[in-house]
């Protein structure tokens, strides 16, 4: 029996539940931080030998090769199931089309007085892509991270991924990497791989930014190394919020809640609805649909601990709660869902209507599936082309233009007590 909570929104009960959900993303375990800190320092000083030692320690044996040879990558693509390759190519087409529209433009702004201002936009030099291995290997994550990087103009993408137990790479990951144009792939995982990307080793190049999902050790390493290298975001457990009225189909709602609950026992799946009938029928549908699912135990735990069905008075109230939660994934199953886009300000990605379920966004539609979690959609945005760009401004002034501006600049500089700043202006106009 699925033990998902049913809560009536009264300003108190739902808030208590939201506090419980928020605890999933609490402070990182101090023991994990200590372990990761030691790994980082050892890799910083020991380079590849330290990385390989940790690989042997944590994965049981060294892989067949450290860097995956190009012919192995090409063979994986050649030998792949054609239907799988075609599916990935269709995904790539949609993801590329969406992200090509995000490209920023450099600009130059010449003025009548001879002043020239502008901005130059270009891709980062080198990006590291972390891809989990084993049973948590997701080719879709390769697509979502590598494609916007390529569109941004990143010159080189370095992938790190743990080897399988037999020491070989996951072939599905290799296929996705080949199709996306990943440049080099190293068989290494965990915090040691993150440290290697951040500092560089004899063989693994130092990168400017690290992206991609991972376990608590990977996430902690990214957090500790932020500043040495840029990162995509500090990701918490996955979450979905469905807001629905009495027009929603219970079997769709149930299926969509479970699609996120199966990720992790810490995942959160919440339904907010104006219809108690929908609430009750959704619970029955969950019980019916969960039985044959492969990850039933994970779904049971997730829905029992961090799932809920919240009954509220109006659609507007449901929208207000959604903005308060700022969920990673937000499904709008209202009668006219398009009417509510302007009301929903805080969400990583919004899915509108009966036929835009969350997995559509995970794989195929085009928008990125690397999304802010744990309420950070209030101020963070999804991964995109801009995540892999850097900008520099440029300024050119003529002598006459600076003469016109000099008194204002000197006055402000002297108000701030920065007399050398003021002098750098004044010295240019001394007799």
Residues 207-222 pLDDT 10s: 999 999 988 899 999 9
Angle (nearest 5°) at CA 309 between 307 and 313: 145
Least confident of 16-25, 36-45, 290-299: 16-25
| Residue 1 pLDDT > 80 | no
pLDDT band at 397 (very low <50, low <70, confident <90, very high): very high
Q: Is 328 a catalytic site residue?
A: yes
Percent of the chain clearing pLDDT 70 (strictly above)? 98
pLDDT band at 111 (very low <50, low <70, confident <90, very high): very high
Average pLDDT over residues 107-116: 97
pLDDT of residue 24: 80
pLDDT of residue 133: 79
On average, the pLDDT of the chain sits at 94
Domain 236-378 has what CATH class?
Answer: alpha beta
pLDDT of residue 134: 63
Looking at 262, 328, 331, 389, which residue is catalytic? 328
Delimit the CATH 3.40.50.1980 region(s) of the chain.
30-231, 236-378
Residue-wise burial string across 116-144, b where 16 or more C-beta atoms lie within 10 A, e elsewhere: eeeeebbbbebbbbbbbbeeebbbbbbbb
Q: Which CATH architecture has domain 30-231?
A: 3-Layer(aba) Sandwich (3.40)
pLDDT band at 27 (very low <50, low <70, confident <90, very high): low
- In this predicted model, which residue has the larger pLDDT, 234 or 338? 338
| Residue 431 pLDDT > 90 | no
Q: Mind listing the pLDDT tens digit for each residue in 54-106?
A: 998 988 788 989 999 999 999 999 999 999 999 999 999 999 999 999 999 99
pLDDT band at 136 (very low <50, low <70, confident <90, very high): low
Nearest Cα residue to 283 out of 310, 262, 264, 247 = 310
Angle (nearest 5°) at CA 289 between 286 and 293: 115
Nearest Cα residue to 346 out of 226, 243, 215, 248 = 243
Average pLDDT over residues 122-129: 98
| Residue 120 pLDDT > 80 | yes
359 CB-side CA count, 13 A: 11
Q: Mind listing the pLDDT tens digit for each residue in 276-333?
A: 999 999 999 999 999 999 999 999 999 999 999 999 999 999 999 999 999 999 999 9
Looking at 329, 358, 369, 389, which residue is catalytic? 329
| Residue 122 pLDDT > 80 | yes
State the maximum Cα–Cα separation within the chain, in Å, rounded to a whole number. 89
What is the reported pTM?
0.92
Q: Is 38 a catalytic site residue?
A: no
pLDDT band at 26 (very low <50, low <70, confident <90, very high): low
């Amino acid at each position: 029996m699925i033990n998902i909570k049913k809560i009536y929104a009264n300003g108190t009960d739902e808030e208590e539940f939201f506090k419980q959900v928020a605890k999933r993303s609490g402070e990182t375990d101090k023991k994990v931080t200590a372990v990761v800190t030691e790994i980082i320092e050892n890799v910083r000083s020991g380079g590849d030998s330290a990385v390989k030692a940790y690989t042997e320690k944590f994965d049981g044996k060294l892989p067949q090769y450290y860097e995956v040879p190009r012919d192995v990558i090409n063979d994986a693509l050649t030998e792949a199931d054609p239907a799988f390759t075609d599916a990935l190519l269709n995904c790539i087409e949609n993801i590329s089309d969406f992200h090509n529209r995000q490209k920023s433009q450099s600009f130059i702004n010449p003025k009548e007085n001879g002043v020239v201002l502008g901005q130059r936009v270009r891709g980062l030099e080198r990006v590291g892509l972390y891809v989990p291995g084993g049973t948590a290997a997701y080719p879709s994550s390769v697509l979502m991270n590598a494609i916007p990087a390529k569109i941004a103009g990143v010159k080189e993408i370095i992938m790190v991924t743990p080897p399988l137990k037999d020491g070989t790479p996951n072939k599905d990951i290799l296929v996705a990497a080949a199709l996306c144009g990943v440049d080099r792939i190293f068989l290494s995982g965990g915090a040691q791989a993150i440290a290697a990307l951040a500092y560089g080793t004899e063989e693994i190049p130092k990168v400017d930014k690290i992206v991609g999902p991972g376990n608590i050790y990977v996430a902690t390493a990214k957090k500790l190394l932020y500043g040495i290298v840029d990162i995509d975001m500090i990701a918490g457990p996955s979450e979905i919020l469905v807001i629905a009225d009495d027009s929603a189909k219970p079997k769709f709602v149930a299926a969509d809640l479970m699609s996120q609950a199966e990720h992790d026992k810490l995942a959160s799946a919440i339904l907010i609805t104006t219809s108690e009938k929908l609430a009750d029928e959704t619970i029955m549908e969950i019980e019916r649909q969960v039985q044959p699912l492969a990850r039933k135990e994970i779904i049971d735990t997730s829905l029992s601990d961090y799932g809920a069905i919240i009954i509220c008075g109006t659609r507007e109230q449901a929208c207000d709660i959604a903005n308060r939660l700022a969920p990673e994934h937000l499904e709008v199953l209202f009668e006219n869902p398009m009417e509510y886009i302007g009301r929903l300000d805080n969400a990583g990605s919004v899915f509108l209507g009966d036929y835009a379920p969350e997995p559509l966004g995970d794989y195929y539609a085009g928008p990125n599936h690397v999304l802010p979690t744990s309420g950070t959609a209030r101020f963070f945005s999804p991964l995109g082309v801009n995540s892999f760009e850097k900008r520099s401004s440029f300024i050119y002034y003529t002598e006459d233009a600076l003469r016109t501006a000099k008194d204002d600049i000197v006055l402000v500089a002297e108000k701030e007590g920065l007399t050398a700043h003021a002098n750098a202006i004044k010295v240019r106009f001394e007799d």
